Chain A
Amino acid sequence: MRERKHDTLGTSEDELSQRRKSIAFLLLLHIRHCKKGPQIRTALIMEHSWETIEALGFAPIVLDEPYRIIVQNNPVNFIDPKGLATTIIITSDYGLGSHAAVRVDNSGDPILYDPGGSYMNGARGSGDFFTGNEASLGSYIKYQQGTGSDINIISFNTTPQQESAIATNIENATNPGDFGCAKGVSNVLNGVGPFKDLGIYNLPDSLSNALQKLQKALYK
């Protein structure tokens, strides 16, 4: 049997090796994305082993659309290395858009807005948002996948000022009510930075389409 070594923090060699591979994968993705344009700086760490990812040939990443990452397998972390992104998460069930949420890095003080959602059930505040470690995109994606939904992630570059404006909108938002997730998300984004002409959408699918069009227009 192979001997397992541990570092001072108790991390096993296998875990360290897995982390190194994840970082290598992250860098590789980053480089591949950057070829499509200097604005891209989103990457994805998969829960699968490195070998599985190689075997998949990066299938989960749609390289023709570098700004949109379709999460079909098991991503547990979605990392924005520079901490300057606004990420919109759209879930769909049976081919229909079923939910929308948004996360902003907000200069290291992240905020995740999940209007009318079920994330962290049983202990949600009336504001429908989460901050600090609870605003982890990885945990949020993992949760949504656990419900059986498909997930689309759409990410935009935003400045600290724009992120702060979105965070303020989230703080001031009121409960958008039944089926109000897309309306809630578009309300907090509309008028800020790249979303200045976004408009208000009642359905997650319409919001998703509008954001994808916006991405194409912004990063063509």
Chain B
Amino acid sequence: MKKIIAKKKILFIVLIASLITLPLLIVECGYRYGLHLFRELPSVQAYQPLPSIVTNGIWASFSEKAPPRVKPLMPWNILEDEVLGCDSPGAKITNYVSRRLLEIEGPSPRMLTWHLQEFSLTVWLSRNWPTERIIHEAGNQIVICREASSIDKLANKLFDKNSDALEAHEIALIMAAGKGGFVHAGESLQNQLLKRRNQILERMLKNGAISEGDYTTSRNQPITSLQQDLIECRN
């Protein structure tokens, strides 16, 4: 009788252990399969470090919390994020970079494969690329009017200066414009741009990247009509 109870106990423990490990195993397999689909994984190429204010502006535009540091992800972090609603630091910006890199891979596969590859690359990048490189890459892929440009190029175009000299409201405007199209119903482009820019500034303030005084000054900076013209897409 005791032997039967002991056997049942062992079976119960095995069952519980399987229930816990099976989802983790599936996620791990999915991650490995997703990586296997890449011809070549992106290597860390040499890059020019960005100034602190630019780094913080890019980081804040993805609603990431301070400090700018990407947490190396494990495949099962996706379960945490999805099921428990946890926000792994840096997961959003890394996901954005992984999608931009995935585009270089060629024609898009089915959406299931696309999401799997996107997830695998996000995890891989968070573990293999330094935070600065991820932020740098996000700053190299700012899309305005369906054209991807770097921070340097946009700093020149919109403010006639180098990215090293950008101020908080300027980097915030660049990142705001890179969000995408504008929904004009009932609101001017200027108002929409200001709203987006000021949301990023607010996040920078929360992150401690700018002081209260800088925030107030930056918020009051106007957006010129020339800048609006350069940002507005006519499709």
Interface residues of A (CB under 8 A from B): 91, 93-94, 96, 98-99, 106-107, 109, 111, 116-118, 120-135, 144, 147-149, 164, 167-168, 170-172, 174-175, 177-181, 183, 202
Contact = CB atoms under 8 A, between A and B. Distances in A.
Given A125-B143, A126-B96, A179 B119 contact: yes
Contacts of A121: 103, 108
Interface of B: 61-63, 78, 81-83, 91-92, 95-96, 99, 102-103, 108-115, 118-119, 122, 142-144, 146-148, 175, 178-186, 192, 196, 199, 233, 235
A183 B83 CA distance: 11
User: Chain B CB within 10 Å — which of A91, A117, A171 has the most?
Assistant: A171
Given A120-B146, A147-B111, A178-B119, A126 B235 contact: no
A131 B183 contact: yes
26 contacts: A93-B110, A93-B112, A93-B113, A98-B111, A106-B183, A111-B183, A117-B114, A118-B103, A121-B103, A125-B180, A126-B62, A127-B180, A128-B180, A132-B233, A147-B109, A149-B110, A164-B185, A167-B183, A168-B183, A171-B183, A171-B192, A172-B199, A175-B95, A177-B92, A178-B115, A179-B82
A76 to B, nearest CB: 18
A55 B207 CA distance: 63
A106 B185 contact: yes
- Prevailing SS type, chain A contact patch: loop
Nearest to A91: B111
A94 B91 contact: no
Contacts of A111: 181, 183
Closest 3 pairs (CB-CB, A-B): A125-B180, A131-B181, A127-B179
A177 B95 CA distance: 6
Nearest to A148: B110
Nearest to A131: B181
Contacts of B181: 111, 125, 127, 129-132, 134-135
Contacts of B180: 124-131
A195 B65 CA distance: 30
B62 A174 contact: yes
A179 B108 contact: no
A167 B181 CA distance: 12
Nearest to A204: B111
Contacts of B184: 109
B193 to A, nearest CB: 12
A181 B112 CA distance: 11
For A106, A147, A164, A183, the residue with the greatest tally of chain B CB atoms inside 10 Å of its CB is A147
